[in-house]
């Protein structure tokens, strides 16, 4: 089995100098910050303002891709657990349509009260999936944009605990988040985006005379599809369905390419990988 590859992000810090290394996010508050916070705002005035801000078009349409796959593979009479739900936008959109989903994350998030007021049927609990399985067993588990944070040992634990939270014959719907590890994703993340940011830093230096700090942040891990499927197999999972979405997302991380690529353009496929095991 090939080694998973570390996924780095590069950015500038005007308040610091030199090269700075930031480790991977390791607690709920780091994750919350990385997601732009989970606080309530004006969007919580009504269901439509909530979905307009936090579902439709959010993160370049990531949630619409999830919704497409989830509706194909979840049944309304299934008892579903969502792990690492964050602000729970996808889950709430499905709950509104009659799906039975309990959300969870490491901690109760800031806008929990406002969410419950807007969606009284909303159920949420604190759970760290690395700490153990749920007491209750579910027909299905969904997990969107989490496992990129896990090294191999944690990924094994994740699959084992999810498997033990499912009824016999239950299924897991998983988004691996980020691009699969391959030559193209290596060239984008480890070469193009890095040197683009160094170029921006140089241009800023030439314009202002100030050299900003160059930050290398360990964002997570990239894996091939085969690596994830292989690890899942060790906990008794078998791959049932697999679709690729959001091809342009990785390119849109580039300052240069961002404006050139239209969202939902014809190449909007591949890269973000959703799997049903
Ligand atoms: C990138 S966010 C994804 C949130 C949401 N599912 C989405 O797609 O926008 C990752 C979430 O995973 C949660 N998380 C991180 N480690 C976790 C763990 N061990 N168990 C459960 N949730 C975890 C974080 O608190 C964070 O809310």
Ligand 1 atom having least distance to the Cα of 59: 9
Question: Over the chain, what HEC string results?
Answer: CCCCEEEEEEEEECCCCCEEEECCCCCHHHHHHHCCCCCCCHHHHCHHHHHHHHCCCHHHHHHHHHHHHHHHHCCCCCEEEEECCCCCHHHHHHHCCCCEEEEEECCCCCCHHHHHHHCCCCEEEECCCCCCCCCCCEEEEEEECCHHHCCHHHHHHHHHHHHCCEEEEEEEEEECCCCCCCHHHHHHHHHHHHHHHHHHHHHHHHHHCCCCEEEEEEEEEECCHHHHHHHHHCCCCCCCEEEEECHHHCHHHCHHHHCCCCCCCCCCCCCEEEEEC
Ligand 1: which of 9, 31, 36, 83 to mutate, judged by most atoms within 8 Å of the beta carbon? 31
**Number of C-alpha atoms within 13 angstroms, CB side, residue 226?**
5
Q: Find the 86 Cα to ligand 1 centroid distance in Å.
A: 6
The rounded distance, in Å, linking the Cα atoms of 143 and 145 is 7
Ligand 1 neighbourhood includes 142 CB (under 6 angstroms): no
Q: Whose CA is nearest to atom 4 of ligand 1?
A: 86
The band of 268, judged by pLDDT with boundaries at 50, 70 and 90, is very low
- 84's CB contacts (< 8 A; 6+ apart) are 104, 105, 106, 129, 143, 144, 145, 146
Cα 157 from chain centroid?
18
User: Phi first, then psi: what are they for 31, rounded to 5°?
Assistant: -65, -40
The Cα–Cα gap between 140 and 82 comes to 9
CB of residue 81 inside a 6 A radius of ligand 1: no
Centroid of ligand 1 to alpha carbon of 250 (angstroms): 20
Question: How many angstroms separate the alpha carbon of residue 106 from the centre of ligand 1?
Answer: 7
Cα dihedral sign, 153-158-163-165: positive
pLDDT in tens, 185-196: 899 999 999 999
Q: What is the mean pLDDT of residues 256-266?
A: 64
CB atoms within 10 A of CB 72: 12
> How many residues does the structure list for the chain?
277
Answer yes or no: is the C-beta of 86 below 6 A from any ligand 1 atom: yes
Q: How far is the CA of 17 from the centre of ligand 1 (A)?
A: 31
CA of 63, closest atom in ligand 1 = 8
C-alpha angle with apex 84: 119 to 74, nearest 5 degrees? 70
CA–centroid distance, 85 to ligand 1, in Å, is 6
Question: What pLDDT digit, counting tens, does each position of 81-116 carry?
Answer: 999 999 999 999 999 999 999 999 999 999 999 999
When divided into structural domains, the chain yields a total of 1
Residue 241: which CATH number?
A: 3.40.50.150
Range of the domain at 173: 5-276
- Quickly state the pLDDT bin for 251 (edges 50, 70, 90): confident
Does 129 sit in the ligand 1 pocket, CB within 6 Å?
A: yes
Contact 221, 148 (CB under 8 A): yes
pLDDT tens track for 161-186: 999 999 999 999 999 887 889 898 89
Residue 250: CB within 6 Å of ligand 1?
Answer: no
Percent of the chain with pLDDT over 90: 80
């Amino acid at each position: 089995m090939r080694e998973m590859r570390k996924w780095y992000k590069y950015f500038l810090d005007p308040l610091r100098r030199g090269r700075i290394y930031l480790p991977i996010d390791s607690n709920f508050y780091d994750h919350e910050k990385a997601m732009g916070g989970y606080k309530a705002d004006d969007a919580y005035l009504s269901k439509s303002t909530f979905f307009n801000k936090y579902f439709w078009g959010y993160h370049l349409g990531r949630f619409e891709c999830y919704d497409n796959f989830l509706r194909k593979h979840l049944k309304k009479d299934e008892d579903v657990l969502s792990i690492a739900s964050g602000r729970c936008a996808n889950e709430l959109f499905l709950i509104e349509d009659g799906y039975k989903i309990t959300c969870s994350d490491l901690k109760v998030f800031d806008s929990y009260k406002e969410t419950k007021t807007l969606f009284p049927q909303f159920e949420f609990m604190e759970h760290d999936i690395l700490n153990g399985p749920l007491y209750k067993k579910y027909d299905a588990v969904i997990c969107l944009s989490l496992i990129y944070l896990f090294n191999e040992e944690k990924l094994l634990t994740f699959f084992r605990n999810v498997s033990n939270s499912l009824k016999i014959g239950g299924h897991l719907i998983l988004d691996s988040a980020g691009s699969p590890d391959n030559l193209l994703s290596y060239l984008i993340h480890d070469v193009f985006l890095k040197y683009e940011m160094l170029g921006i830093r140089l241009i800023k230096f030439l314009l202002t005379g100030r050299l900003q700090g160059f930050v290398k942040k360990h964002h997570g891990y990239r894996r091939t599809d085969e690596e994830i499927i292989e690890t899942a197999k060790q906990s008794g999972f078998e791959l049932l369905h697999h679709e690729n979405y959001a091809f342009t997302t990785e390119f849109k991380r580039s300052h240069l390419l961002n404006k050139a690529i239209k969202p939902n353009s014809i190449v909007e496929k591949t890269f973000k990988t959703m799997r049903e095991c």
